[in-house]
Amino acid sequence: MFKQTINALVVAGLVGCASSPSTDTAVADGINLLETVEQKSEQLVIPYKKFQLENGLTVILHEDKSDPLVHVDVTYHVGSGREEIGKSGFAHFFEHMMFQGSENVADEQHFKIISEAGGTLNGTTNSDRTNYFETAPSNQLEKMLWLEADRMGFLLDAVTQKKFEVQRETVKNERGQRVDNRPYGRLGERVAEAMYPEGHPYSWPVIGYMEDLNRANVNDVKKFFLRWYGPNNATLTIGGDIDEEQTLAWVKKYFGSIPRGPEVKDPTPVEVTLDKDRYISLEDNVSLPLLYMAYPTVYARHEDEAPLDVLASILGQGRTSLLYKNLDKEGIAVQSRVSHGCRELACEFVLLALPNPMSGKGLADIESIIRDSFKEFEQRGVKADDIERVKASIKSRLIYGLQSVSGKVSQLAAYQTFEDDPNLIQKELERYENVTEEDVMRVYEQYLKGQHAVIMSVVPKGQKGMVAHKDTWTPSERKIPEYKEVTEADLDIRVAEDDFDRSVMPEAGDNPTIKVPEIWRTELSNGIKVLGAVNKETPTTAIRLRVKTGSSNDPLNKLGLASITASMLNESTNNYSNEELSNILQKLGSSVSISSGDTYTQLTISSLTENLDKTLQIANEKLREPKFDPADFKRVKEQTIEGIKSAAKQPSVVASNVYRKLLFGADNAFAYADSGTIESVNNITLDDVKKFYNEYYSPAVASIVAVSDLEESELSTKLKRFSSWNGGDVAQVPLKPFPELQKAIYFVDKPGAAQSEIRIGKRSLPYDATGEYFRAGLMNYNLGGAFNSRININLREDKGYTYGARSGFSGNERYGSFTASAGVRTDVTDKSIIEFLKEIKTYSNSGMTEAELTFMKNSLGQRDARDYETPRQKLGFLGRIMTYDLDEDFVDEQNDILQSIELDELNQLAQEHLELDEMIIVVVGDKKSVMPSLEKLGYDIIEVDAEANRL
């Protein structure tokens, strides 16, 4: 199988052979060529050239002419692991500060410039690195390099106390949203404290402790920047439709004069050991307790990492694993999983499980079963299938990662940053290819058997008695060094000297020619329409078969029936057990899954093309031969109920569910969560599932979209496997009348919530690709559809109330809505609502400006360059055409509308569709904290008991 995969990649033109590392060769003044990797043989690599500037900046270029795109990534070898004790969160904080303007880029302009260029951008921070990246049309490359160079070499003068304060509040909001207000959100932080000795770089969270950020001043973060953000600690990776000579000239121009920073040495891993099991616990706002066992192992790319990954697969990944057999399959756990996560300095072997309350088993029982599963593994040993499954999944994951230029660039950047060698894909494959059964047993005996772990119990608040074991370890009080204030005089400022004016933003080149995918159409003998496109960039095939049935067809007393029916199609079939299906798919490197939404149920297939026939056989089996086994049904039903309970603990989910039900009414099944309610799911029987399947699953309401490296004739032949599926017409449940909206604040109490979730909106237009719905979306872009929209700039960037705020129109063929939303700090809930309402009212009354019109046209007019790159994007494009029966040139019509639409029409749409008196407000938060201020807003306040499903 491995040889066939590589041969397929050769045909696709994605492989190469690294040349022998060359001695430094000057290709231009100040630029040395270090290495060239070219397409030469069957080895799997991403072709590239590696250069270095005199200031130490490593530059990697990858040419990919398949789409008129470029992706730029700047990775700095600094993450939270480089921070000092008592100064946690600085690396992540600088990720925020790097978007706040620099010497030659005004405040809040980074997002605006890239968005207006038709691009997208972001930044991420982890324990080991921070990266910043943009994808944009290829004519925007010089502008992207100018922006990245300006914040690498000219940032500090723009780092003001005001920006520092605002972004500190934004980080607090991010922590509230992602950690404090999320069930199990503090789990990782607590485990890290127990796993690593005090002062270890991984002993504090990436986002940091807020008391550390509160203690810091603006010069602290400037000092951090000067220490770690030099060009000699960075890798600039550029991929896509580039001209090498011109690109290097721009790199030299914009980055070449930036002075080196202090020298940086790679950190050295230190072995982490535990002298005994450390039991810890946390009471949290959760519905289900959770057991989490973490063993320290090695570090990234250690020789034992690969066999430990195979061991994780055997013990707890997929339905072939021991934990699935012993916990999930038996109904003892609603979920279990094993992983082996690796970072630069340390890896952790993690086993987790959430018990099923209906089993009567608790966390102590779960721990006992996990330990018994270890013993079972010792008796069972390692099988050839185990090795083959993991190898296949690694191969397919790496190949799927080559489907986008951003994926290839990210891979090159990571390999260079951590290994000083971008050419590692083949070596990654080989180290898994070389894992033996003896290796897996050896690492089990070395790192797990008889070894100690951090064992954490997360239990519902007030249920301390549910822990697996009483705590045997408590964190010591943090020993913070005496704070020494950093002054301007302590900063070693480095200044670049240029022979050009950096304040002049480069002009874009000529717009690239953008082609939508060429589409072919056919129809199977049973009437299933097929829409396809050829994609030769990777030897893969992606297929989506959709059936027009979903939660809209649920009986009101059996909400969740469509979702459970889809879930049952992911279980056993008449010819294969769960375990057999999972084993086959994993060894193929394929995935086949079935899921349902409001209107459609879809079968999604992803496969290496060489394995497509076998993958389609399994897909067809799942769709047409479900076993509807009573044991599977019992397990799925119990998992669904626990999922509903868990969702009820998430304020963002509660807010969206209550808001949707208010808009569309209790008489419409789609107004509820697709999973249903606890009461309705309890009403569902296996006979209900069989009846729903027989009534609503039919080729008469099915369609297929497909993207493959195969030509139409060959793929069409393979899809004929579905042509023997028979079935008649399917009636759709009509819409019930929507309720009259009462202008009010609908409030859900979440005691102790770290944030408040806000939804403001109304019913609005159904989807129309080129009609008023599309035009309303253009109108909203500057209000809440872009990062630089009025709403987000106001609430996030100017006031620090939220991590992000937005607004937009959404809809399908039958109904739609307009919604503005955000998660905000509890103490500014009322102020956030006031600002939301102010921005919507102002926009409705006065409309957008000429400058905003230009920004919107430029931004949306160029983003098509990145809309059709990957098979997934192409599937989405084909899916819209199929769903809404669109002409193939609808994108051209949209662009014509975009370019010709005038300010008067857009502002008229704002007046018509942003009437505040027609909107409702939903707030989910801590009543004790926010109710007194909400009562002063002048709205009627209606309290909602969301968990009882009553309004």
Domains of the chain, by residue range, sit at 1-43, 46-264, 278-466, 519-722, 745-943
Instruction: Give the pLDDT score at 14.
Output: 41
Of 335, 325, 314, 294, nearest in space to 378 by CA: 314
Mean pLDDT of 561-585: 96
pTM of the entire predicted model: 0.89
Rounded Cα gap, residues 810 and 804, in angstroms: 18
Judge whether residue 10 has pLDDT over 50. no
pLDDT of 7 over the 70 cut: no
The pair phi, psi for residue 575, each rounded to 5°, is -115, -15
pLDDT in the model for residue 94: 82
Largest CA distance in the chain: 80
Please compute the mean of the pLDDT values over residues 622-633 and round it to a whole number.
97
Q: Is the pLDDT of residue 552 over 70?
A: yes
Supply the angle between the helices 850-862 and 109-116 in degrees, to the nearest 10. 60
- Give pLDDT, residue 708: 96
Residue 13 pLDDT > 70: no
Residue 948: what pLDDT? Answer: 56
Token pair listed for 14: 């994605």
Q: What is the mean pLDDT of residues 621-638?
A: 96
Q: How far apart are CA 131 and CA 122, in angstroms?
A: 9
User: Rg of the chain over CA atoms, in angstroms?
Assistant: 28
The reported pLDDT for the residue numbered 316 is 95
| Mean pLDDT along residues 810-825 | 96
Mean pLDDT over 25-47 rounds to 84
Q: Identity (one letter) of the amino acid at 17?
A: C
Task: Give the pLDDT confidence score for residue 369 in this predicted structure.
Answer: 98
Q: Is the pLDDT score of 8 beyond 50?
A: no
Determine phi and psi for 601, rounding to 5 degrees: -115, 135
CA neighbor of 63 nearest in space, from 75, 47, 52: 47
DSSP secondary structure letters along 101-135: -BTTB-TTHHHHHHHHTT-EEEEEE-SS-EEEEEE
- Rounded to an integer, what distance in angstroms lies between the CA atom of residue 222 and that of residue 491? 8
Torsion of CA 288, 294, 299, 303, to 10 degrees: -110
Task: Tell me, yes or no, if the two domains 278-466 and 745-943 fold the same way.
Answer: yes
Question: Is residue 28 predicted with pLDDT exceeding 80?
Answer: no
- CATH value of 278-466 in 3.40.50.150, 3.40.50.10860, 3.10.129.10, 3.30.830.10: 3.30.830.10
Higher-confidence residue: 167 or 445?
Answer: 445
What number is the average pLDDT over the span 230-242? 97
Tell me the pLDDT tens digit for each residue of 170-204.
888 888 888 888 889 999 999 999 999 989 999 99
- The top-level CATH class assigned to 46-264 is alpha beta
The CATH number of the structural domain formed by 519-722 is 3.30.830.10
**What is the distance between the alpha carbons of residues 777 and 797, in angstroms, rounded to a whole number?**
23
What pLDDT does 41 receive?
A: 67
Under a CB-based contact definition with an 8 Å cutoff, are residues 810 and 656 in contact? no
Report d(CA 287, CA 183) in Å as an integer. 9
- In order, the DSSP letters of 165-219 are HHHHHHHHHHHIIIIITSTTTTHHHHHHHHHS-TT-TTSS-TT--HHHHHH--HH
pLDDT on residue 171: 87
**Cα–Cα distance between 567 and 594 in angstroms, integer?**
7
CA 294, 299, 304, 307 dihedral sign is: positive
Q: Which of 708, 704, 701, 707 is nearest to 721 (CA)?
A: 704
Per mean pLDDT, which range of 328-332, 586-590, 833-837, 942-946 is the poorest? 942-946
Lowest mean pLDDT across 199-203, 219-223, 815-819: 219-223
The label of the residue with tokens 């990858």 reads 62
Which spans in 707-816 are helix H? 712-719, 772-780, 790-792
Side chain identity, residue 276: K
- How confident is the model at residue 778, as a pLDDT? 97
Percent of the chain with pLDDT over 70: 97
Angle at CA 834, nearest 5°, toward 831 and 839? 125
Contact 155, 94 (CB under 8 A): no
Question: What pLDDT shows up at residue 489?
Answer: 84
| Confidence at residue 6, expressed as pLDDT on a 0 to 100 scale | 29
Nearest alpha carbon to residue 801 among 835, 843, 772: 835
Which region among 131-135, 213-217, 248-252, 805-809 has the lowest average model confidence (pLDDT)?
A: 213-217
Question: What's the chain's average pLDDT?
Answer: 92
* Statement: residue 250 has pLDDT above 60: yes
Question: CATH topology for 745-943?
Answer: Cytochrome Bc1 Complex; Chain A, domain 1 (3.30.830)
Which is higher by pLDDT, 156 or 125? 125
